[in-house]
């Protein structure tokens, strides 16, 4: 038997729940149903921000998005960070800015965001039906949506199925499939905000070390530089600046990385410091030449890679040329990236459904009346730092408002 409702939201994640809540606030009389394939809604949201949910960023959104940027910016002009904070506060989730303008719930608990969204949805009479996977839909009047547990009919359907990242072994129908079958264009999809794999040998001694530095990735004609804490692991590198670069590296498949371990020092200042150490500690071995200036293991690795193979040599024996080579290695430690850790650990999807067929004010389709699409499934990707959830809230809110008013 076919079941019916007024608004059917496919996907109970960040954007889908926010859209359903917004629609229900505007149109309390409408029957709103959220279909979610997992055992519980918003599972991914629980893991965001290392369990603290970095839900937005107060440092400005411009320059932090990729893909259909003009579409995203148009949407943000209707519902931005300020409106998100107000809406969250109304739902009982006041926010606080920490760590370089990242916005978190005051509770610093992602689980509390999920709880408050669930409670709001329940209070508003939204039906959240879990363990129900949408397998196919047909665009007719009303829409017919086929799931593993029966068929739904609705005049208004929202696709909020998220991206390909971190979805485990799921191999069923995705939002990309649903939309592609209806004639929408999906770009190439690559994992982003993910650890980067590199050649192993040069960083073998550095496994487990965290250093503040500047990292530049060169992919073909594209170059991007990020600053922050870089983590060395057995597979390659991670940490916030690496995660930021990972989308670009995933797109190209490889990159030439260059790490500046002392970005606040000029080459001359580093040279002077090392030369002065060479004089002051002339009778000590090179092993400790950089100790105190940087992480000891990193210092030794830099010296070896700069050609000082025998660290038992006396510091006083270093030539000007050798010190220059050490400075060059500190300011530009080269490393070849050969990919990323892939979908299983990626936080987001780069690419998605092209937005040319949607209205940025309402997320409504221009091709199918009553169809709305939001969140990560669209070709909008944000940087690490709360930008992806902000896109989920913005697109979810705008779609929810339009669906409520429809
Ligand atoms: C580990 C991790 C940490 C992250 N941390 C942050 C962070 O701190 N800040 C930030 O801004 N972003 C973060 N992100 C990214 C952020 O979580 C996503 O961009 C955001 O959740 C996307 O929202 P969405 O509603 O589009 O999709 P989702 O939240 O992924 O929701 C989509 C939902 O649709 C369901 N679904 C999919 N297909 C079907 C189907 N066929 N039938 C029924 N249901 C279906 C899924 O099960 C899912 O629940 C993180 C991501 C990960 C993986």
Q: Phi, psi at residue 233, to the nearest 5°?
A: -130, 175
Task: Report the Cα–Cα distance between both ends of the chain, in Å, rounded.
Answer: 26
Annotation: CATH topology of 2-190+348-405:
FAD/NAD(P)-binding domain (3.50.50)
- Is residue 378 within 6 Å of ligand 1 at its C-beta? no
Nearest ligand 1 atom to the CA of 17 is: 25
The predicted pLDDT at position 256 comes to 98
User: Could you tell me how far CA 255 lies from the centroid of its own chain?
Assistant: 19
Instruction: Note the pLDDT of residue 168.
Output: 59
Residue 282 contacts residue 316 (beta carbons within 8 Å): yes
pTM of the model: 0.92
**Residue to mutate (ligand 1; options 347, 353, 373; most atoms within 8 A of CB):** 347
10 lines ligand 1 (CB under 6 A): yes
**Alpha carbons 51 and 204: distance in angstroms, whole number:** 30
Q: What is the C-alpha to C-alpha distance for residues 243 and 247, in angstroms, rounded to an integer?
A: 8
How many CB atoms are closer than 10 A to CB 275? 15
The ligand 1 atom at the shortest distance from the C-alpha of residue 56 is: 11
Q: Whose CA is nearest to atom 48 of ligand 1?
A: 13
- pLDDT, one tens digit per residue, over 225-260 is 999 999 999 999 999 999 999 989 998 999 999 999
HSE-up (13 A, CA, CB side) for residue 181: 12
Strands (E), 177-264: 190-192, 196-198, 210-219, 222-232, 236-238, 255-260
pLDDT at residue 1 above 90? no
- At 35 the three-state DSSP class reads strand
Q: What is the pLDDT, as a whole number, of residue 172? A: 85
Report whether residue 385 contacts ligand 1, using a CB cutoff of 6 Å.
no
Distance between Cα 262 and ligand 1 center (Å) = 36
Of the two residues 381 and 99, the one the predictor is more confident about is 381
Q: Are 187 and 351 in contact (CB under 8 A)?
A: yes
pLDDT for residue 140:
92
Rounded to the nearest integer, the mean pLDDT of the chain is 96
Q: What are the residues facing 285 on neighbouring strands?
A: 314
277-313 tens-digit pLDDT:
999 999 999 999 999 999 999 999 999 999 999 999 9
**Residue 14 Cβ contacting ligand 1 at under 6 Å:** yes
Is 387 close to ligand 1, i.e. is its CB under 6 Å away? yes
What is the mean pLDDT of the segment spanning 136-164? 96
Mean pLDDT of 350-356: 97
Q: Please answer whether residues 128 and 42 qualify as being in contact, where contact means their C-beta atoms are separated by less than 8 angstroms.
A: no
Q: How far apart are CA 381 and CA 403, in angstroms?
A: 24
CA dihedral in degrees (207, 209, 214, 220; nearest 10)?
Answer: 10
Q: Using a 6 Å cutoff on CB, does residue 299 contact ligand 1?
A: no
Say if ligand 1 is within 6 A of residue 47 CB.
yes
**Minimal-distance CA residue to ligand 1 atom 45:** 11
CA dist 284 → 100, 270, 342, 388 (Å): 41, 19, 45, 51
Q: Quote the ligand 1 centre to 377 CA distance (angstroms).
A: 9
Q: 344 CA distance to ligand 1 centroid (A)?
A: 13
Q: For the segment 65-78, what is each residue's pLDDT rounded down to a tens digit?
A: 999 999 999 999 99
The span from the CA of 177 to the CA of 135, in Å, is 9
Give the closest residue to 114 by CA, choosing from 202, 242, 217, 13: 13
Backbone angles phi, psi at 373, to 5 degrees: -135, 140
Nearest to 402 by CA among 27, 141, 121, 152: 27
How far is the centre of ligand 1, averaged over its atoms, from the C-alpha of 332 (Å)?
Answer: 36
pLDDT at residue 219 greater than cutoff 70? yes
**CA gap 120, 116 in Å, rounded:** 6
The answer, yes or no, to whether residue 399 has pLDDT greater than 90, is yes
Q: Rounded to the nearest whole angstrom, what is the distance from the C-alpha of residue 74 to the centroid of ligand 1?
A: 22
Spatial CB neighbours of 349, under 8 Å, sequence gap ≥ 6: 163, 164, 165, 189, 190, 191, 192, 376, 381
Q: Over the stretch 153-176, which tens digit does the pLDDT of each residue have?
A: 999 999 999 999 866 556 789 999
Ligand 1 atom at minimum distance from 382 CA: 11
What pLDDT sits at residue 169?
59
Nearest CA to ligand 1 atom 53: 347
CA of 66 relative to ligand 1 center, distance in Å: 17
pLDDT at residue 171, as a whole number: 73
Is residue 58 pLDDT above 70, yes or no? yes
For ligand 1, whether the C-beta of 54 sits within 6 Å is yes
Per-residue pLDDT tens digits for 67-110: 999 999 999 999 999 999 999 999 999 999 997 799 999 999 99
* pLDDT (0 to 100) of residue 167: 63
Q: Name the residue ranges covered by the structural domains of the chain.
A: 2-190+348-405, 195-341
Q: What proportion of the chain, given as a percentage, has pLDDT over 90?
A: 96
**pLDDT value, residue 209:** 97
Arithmetic mean of pLDDT, 339-353: 94
The CA 222 to ligand 1 mean position distance, Å, reads 28
Ligand 1 contacts CB of residue 128 (under 6 A): no
Q: Ligand 1: which of 46, 48, 150 to mutate, most ligand atoms within 8 Å of CB?
A: 48
Backbone phi, psi, residue 36, to 5°: -130, 130
């Amino acid at each position: 038997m076919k079941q019916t409702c007024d608004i059917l939201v496919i996907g109970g994640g960040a954007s889908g729940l926010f859209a359903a809540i917004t629609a229900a606030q505007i149109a309390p009389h409408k029957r709103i149903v959220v279909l979610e394939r997992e055992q519980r809604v918003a599972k991914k949201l629980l893991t965001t921000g290392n369990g603290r949910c970095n839900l937005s960023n107060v440092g400005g959104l411009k320059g932090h998005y990729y893909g259909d940027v003009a579409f995203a910016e148009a949407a943000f002009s209707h519902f931005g960070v300020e409106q998100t904070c107000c809406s969250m506060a109304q739902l009982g989730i006041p926010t606080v800015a920490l760590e370089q303008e990242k916005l978190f719930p005051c509770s610093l608990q992602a689980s509390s965001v999920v709880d408050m969204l669930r409670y709001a949805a329940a209070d508003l009479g939204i039906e959240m039906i879990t363990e129900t996977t949408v397998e196919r839909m047909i665009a007719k009047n009303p829409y017919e949506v086929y799931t593993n547990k029966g068929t739904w009919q609705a005049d208004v359907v929202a696709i909020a199925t998220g991206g390909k990242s971190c979805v485990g072994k799921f191999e069923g129908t995705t939002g990309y499939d649903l939309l592609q079958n209806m004639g929408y264009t999906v770009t190439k999809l690559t994992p982003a905000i993910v650890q980067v794999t590199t050649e192993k040998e040069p960083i073998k001694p550095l496994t487990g070390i965290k250093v503040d530095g500047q990292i530049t990735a060169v992919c073909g004609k594209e170059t991007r530089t990020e600053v922050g804490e870089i983590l060395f692991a057995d597979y390659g590198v991670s940490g916030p600046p690496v995660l930021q670069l990972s989308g670009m590296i995933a797109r190209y498949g490889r990159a030439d990385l260059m790490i500046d371990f002392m970005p606040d020092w000029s080459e001359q200042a580093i040279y002077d410091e090392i030369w002065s150490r060479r004089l002051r500690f002339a009778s000590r071995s090179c092993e400790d030449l950089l100790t105190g200036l940087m992480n000891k293991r990193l210092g030794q690795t830099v010296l070896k890679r700069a050609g000082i193979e025998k660290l038992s040599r006396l510091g006083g024996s270093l030539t000007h040329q050798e010190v220059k080579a050490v400075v060059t290695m500190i300011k530009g430690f080269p490393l070849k990236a050969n990919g990323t850790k892939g979908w299983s650990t990626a936080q987001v999807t780069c690419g998605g459904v092209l937005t040319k067929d949607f209205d940025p004010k309402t997320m409504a389709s221009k091709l199918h009346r009553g169809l709305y699409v939001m969140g990560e499934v669209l070709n909008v990707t944000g940087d690490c730092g709360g930008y992806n959830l902000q896109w989920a809230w913005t697109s979810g809110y705008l779609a929810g408002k339009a669906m409520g008013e429809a």
